[in-house]
Amino acid sequence: MKNDCVFCAIAAGEIPSFKVCEDDAVLAYLDINPFTKGHTLVIPKKHSTGLLDTDDAVLAAVVARVRKVAARLKEALPCDGFNILQNNGEAAGQTVKHLHFHIVPRYAGEPFVFESHKGDMEELKALAGRVRMA
């Protein structure tokens, strides 16, 4: 891996991912240890550690993609709602020091918890295709 940052390595294609949306500035992909089915990460391709050191134009592009991907997830899954999470700093639960937003689909009747579990790679691959097409 050329990049010290795992998310930079994913954006550079050094680590495979289940992409659902990509352009020159932003990448969205399914989390392989999801809180819920369809849990997606949205990152800028240009490295920044968090909200406070991200360029305004980059942040605007990322947030626009968060909205676009959330709409695609709602259609493709379908889910009943979603949470948008963004952690800044270790004390806030940020484990990768690269700006990222979590889109966590929610389903009626499921408990409201944030606990990851190992995802099924074949299911993630199929879902990524459905979300790209939505």
* Alpha carbon distance 20, 35 (integer Å): 17
Give the helix, strand, coil percentages of the chain, each rounded to 5.
35, 20, 45
Is 47 tagged catalytic? Answer: no
Catalytic residue among 39, 98, 100, 102: 100
Handedness of CA 5, 11, 17, 18 (dihedral sign): positive
Handedness of CA 54, 58, 61, 62 (dihedral sign): negative
β-strands 81-85, 19-22: how paired? Answer: unpaired
* Alpha carbon distance 101, 87 (integer Å): 8
Active-site amino acid positions: 100
